[in-house]
Structure 1
Amino acid sequence: MSWVGFSKLLLGANAEAAAWLRRALNSNPNNPLAHLNLAAALAHLGRLDEARASKKKALELNPALTIRFLKSIPFSDDPTFREQARRITQGMRLAGVPEE
């Protein structure tokens, strides 16, 4: 479910992404990446208080998760994917995920 939410987020379907990520977190509330992706989706929806709460939970679970760290993960070198991933990073920044 988390990967479905991530995929929806890549496509800019923020409301659908948030719904899938919430479902994933109901199954596993200890998934920090799902919390960060939810934070990005919520930030893009303008729900900044909820986005910051989700970011806070992610960082409680794994304080090492920063924008720099996430950008260092070699998910794909496909230009379309990398452009879509920039939207996610932007949402994470809006939610207050630290750069370093």
Structure 2
Amino acid sequence: MRLSAFDPWAFAAFDAQAMSHLLGGRYDEACLAAYRSVQANPAHSITHVQLAAALAKLGRPAEARAAAARVVELHPTFRFGRQFASVDCAPALAKCLGDALRAAGLPE
């Protein structure tokens, strides 16, 4: 995929890639897409959620906790259970993300 570095919505494409890779068990690719999304829009909390999940799945707990801390810094009332409910998250994705986000230290 070719994205302009100047496209203000480029992060959304990387977010979609990260979610797809997470669900598919491709955690290295998910991590790369999430990092790119963070670079494109460092103020978007969900981008950091995806990064925390990918890092947790890769067995990198210190980095996952750092990404989770950034989520809470950007969105102090964040709860992943509430987020999943608000977007009608598919059960398989909620399970995949929930386990990882719990491991990263994000509140349910």
1:58-97 correspondence runs (5 A)? 58-76=71-89, 81-97=90-106
The residue aligned with 1:39 is 52
| Contact 1:5/1:21 (8 A) holds in 2 | yes
Structure scoring higher RCO (CA < 8 A, sep ≥ 6) equals 1
Name the Cα RMSD after superposition. Answer: 1.3
Q: Which has the larger radius of gyration?
A: 2
Match of 1:16 in 2: 29
Q: SS in structure 1 opposite 2:106?
A: coil
The amino acid of 2:73's aligned partner reads: E
Q: What is the letter of the counterpart of residue 74 of structure 1?
A: V
Task: Please tell me whether residue 98 in structure 1 is matched to residue 98 in structure 2.
Answer: no
Measured in 2, the distance between the counterparts of 1:58 and 1:74 equals: 17
Scaled by the length of structure 1, the TM-score of the pair is: 0.87
Unpaired stretches in structure 1, ≥5 consecutive residues: none
* Runs of 4+ residues over 4 Å off in structure 1: none
Q: What's the counterpart of residue 4 of structure 1?
A: 17
May I ask how many residue pairs the two structures share in their alignment? Answer: 95
Q: Give 1:11 deviation, angstroms.
A: 1.4
Contact 1:33 1:58 in 2 (8 A): yes
CA contact (8 A) 1:11 1:84 kept: no
Q: Percent identity?
A: 34
